[in-house]
Structure 1
Amino acid sequence: MGLRGKRQSDDRAGTGAGAPAAGNVTANTGDWAVELRGVARRYGRGTSVVHALRSLDLALPRGSFTAVMGPSGSGKSTFLQCAAGLDRPSEGSVRLGGTEITGMNENKLTELRRSRLGFVFQSFNLLPSLTVEQNVVLPMRLAGERADRRRAAEVLSQVGLGDKGARRPGELSGGQQQRVAIARALITRPDVVFADEPTGALDTGTAAEVLGLLRHAVDGLGATVVMVTHDPVAAAWSDRVLFLADGAIADSFHRATAEQIAARMVSLTARRPSHEGAAA
C-alpha cells in the first residue's frame, strides 16, 4: 500500500461547482476518454416526468480515476448507464474514446461495449460454470475474437491471481472474485473501465485491495476508471470526485480526503430539495 501512502501525503484541494471536471488536459477531443455534452435524461411525461440528468457537460481525461457520488436519487446510476452506452440520453451527445455513440444502432453499441469498455459490478457477475481463465477471456469470445490465453495469464498475474486460472469462481473468496472481474474488465485494454459500487460487497481490508488494483490500473497500465460509489473512503482513491445532486453536477473535488468527501455528501443530502423527482 505504498502508493496509497504517497497519495495521502499529496496536497488536496476541493474545487467549486463551477470548476471544470476534466483535469489539466488540453481541450482536444482525442484527449478525452469520456465526454458528455448537454446530456439530459428524462423518464415519463407531463406532470409525472422525472429528470434523472439535467444538461450535463463533462469531459474526463484518459488515464484518470474519477469517482461519482451523490445522495440517493441524484442520478449516479443514470449517469453511468448513459456514459457507458447502456441507456440513451433524451438530449445531448456522448463520446467514448473520441467516438460518438449517441446515434449508434444497438449492434454497433454492443460491439463497442465488448471491445472498448470494461465493467466491474458489485455482484462480480462471473459465470459459475466457467473457470477463472474462461471468465476473463469471455469479452474476447463475445466480440468474436480468439481467446488469448497469454493475455489472460498476464492480467490475472497483474491482479495477483496468476495461479488461479483453472479454479471456478465458487472456489474463490469475494475479494478474489472481484479481482477476476477486474482482470476481465482489463483483458481487451479498454478505453474506459466503468465500476458500479465495486467494493459494496467486500469487507474494509478486501475493499482496499480492490481499490488499489483499480488505482494501479490507472497509474501503471494507463487505464481510465469511472467509479460510482456511496463510500467516501473508496472515492478518496480517485483523482477527482464528482458530486451529483438532482441530476446535475453540484461540485467537484480533486484528490480529496475521505473526511472532506463525507462532509460534502452530508451537506448535499441536507440541501436536497424534495419537490422534484430524480433517478438513482
Structure 2
Amino acid sequence: MRLRKAKRHQADHRRAAGGGPAAPAATPGLAVELRGIRRQYGRGAGSVHALAGVDLALPRGTFTAIMGPSGSGKSTFLQCAAGLDRPTSGSVRLGGTEITGMNENELTELRRSRLGFVFQAFNLLPSLTVEQNVLLPVRLAGQRQDRRRAAAVLAQVGLADKARRRPGELSGGQQQRVAVARALVTTPDVIFADEPTGALDTGTAAEVLGLLRHGVDALGATVVMVTHDPTAAAWADRVLFLADGAFADHVERGSAEQIAARMTALTSRTAGVMAGAAA
C-alpha cells in the first residue's frame, strides 16, 4: 500500500514538473475537483461539445446528484470525472490526485483501489459468489483479499447471509446491494453511481438510496450520482443541473417536487432555446 501511494506521488510530481504547464494546485478537503473541463467529439463544423467548460468542487463526505435533459452531457461528465474518458482540456482531481495526465495503467490502478462504481445493470460476474464479487476490486488491485472486510460490508447492506450465493440467486434489489458493497469495500475516495435505481421498483430503489446515504453519513463516503429521477435526487445533499454541457442550476436539500419543478423549467428553457436557434 505504501509503495502504491509513493508511486502516485511520484506520478503527480512528474506530471507537474514535466514539459507543459503544471496542473493547478489541489484544494484541501475536496473529493472531486474539476476545472475548465471540456469534451469535444469530432472536428470542424460537425464537432459536438458535450462539456463546455465545467467547474466543480465537491467536499469529502457529500452526496451530489447530477440531472439534466437528454443530451445535456450527464454521461460524459461522469465518464470524465471518473477517469473513464479523457477530457479535451481542463483538470480533474480525485481525492487530491491529478488524474488528467495519467496513462491507462495508472488510471486502471486508481479506479480499482480508490474509486467505487454502482451501475444500473449491477455489473456483477455471474460465475462468482457474492463474496467474490465484493472482493473483486481488491483482487484486481493485487491486494490481500480480506474476507472479514467483505463480511462487514455485506452486513452493512443487509446481505450477511448471502456471501456464498451467486448473483443469479438474488433479486434485482439484492444484486444492487452487492454492487454497493463492492463499491464500499476499498473505502474509496469517491463512489460514482450511474442511474443506480433505474432497474429497480420504488421500494427497492429507496433501500439502495438509503444505503448510499448511510455510506455518506455514517462512513464518510463521497457519492456522485447521475439520475433522471427527482425522487432519487432528493436523497442527495445537492442537485446540480446540466444543460448544453454546463451547469445551469442547482438545488440544496430539495424535495422531489422542488427538483422536478426545476427540471421541468430547465427542460422547457432548453427546448425554447433550441427552437429559437432552429427558426
The question of a shared fold, defined as TM-score above 0.5 by the shorter chain, is answered with yes
CA drift at 1:276: 11
Q: Identify the residue that residue 6 of structure 1 maps to in structure 2.
A: none
The SS at the match of 2:135 is helix
Conserved 8 A contact 2:130-2:165: yes
RMSD: 1.5
Q: Identify the residue that residue 14 of structure 2 maps to in structure 1.
A: none
Conserved 8 A contact 2:112-2:140: yes
Where do residues 1-280 of structure 1 align in structure 2 (5 Å cutoff)?
29-272=27-270, 273-274=273-274
Q: What is the rounded CA distance, in whole Å, between the counterparts of 1:130 and 1:105 in structure 2? A: 30
Q: Identify the residue that residue 14 of structure 1 maps to in structure 2.
A: none
CA separation of 1:214 and 1:276: change in aligned 2, threshold 3 A: farther
* Runs of 4+ off more than 2 Å: 273-277
The SS at the match of 1:60 is strand
Q: What is the rounded CA distance, in whole Å, between the counterparts of 1:164 and 1:238 in structure 2? A: 29
CA drift at 1:29: 1.4
Higher RCO (C-alpha 8 Å, min separation 6): 1
Q: What is the rounded CA distance, in whole Å, between the counterparts of 2:223 and 2:182 in structure 1? A: 14
Q: Please list every run of 5 or more consecutive structure 1 residues that lacks an aligned counterpart in the other structure.
A: 1-26
Q: What is the rounded CA distance, in whole Å, between the counterparts of 1:86 and 1:28 in structure 2? A: 21
Q: Identify the residue that residue 16 of structure 2 maps to in structure 1.
A: none
CA separation of 1:87 and 1:275: change in aligned 2, threshold 3 A: farther
Conserved 8 A contact 2:26-2:96: no
Conserved 8 A contact 2:26-2:93: no
Conserved 8 A contact 2:136-2:182: yes
CA separation of 1:114 and 1:224: change in aligned 2, threshold 3 A: same
Q: Identify the residue that residue 16 of structure 1 maps to in structure 2.
A: none
- Report the structure, 1 or 2, having the larger helix content: 2
Paired AA for residue 274 in structure 2: S
Greater Cα radius of gyration, structure 1 or 2: 2
Q: Identify the residue that residue 10 of structure 2 maps to in structure 1.
A: none
The SS at the match of 2:106 is helix
CA drift at 1:146: 1.6
Q: Please list every run of 5 or more consecutive structure 2 residues that lacks an aligned counterpart in the other structure.
A: 1-24
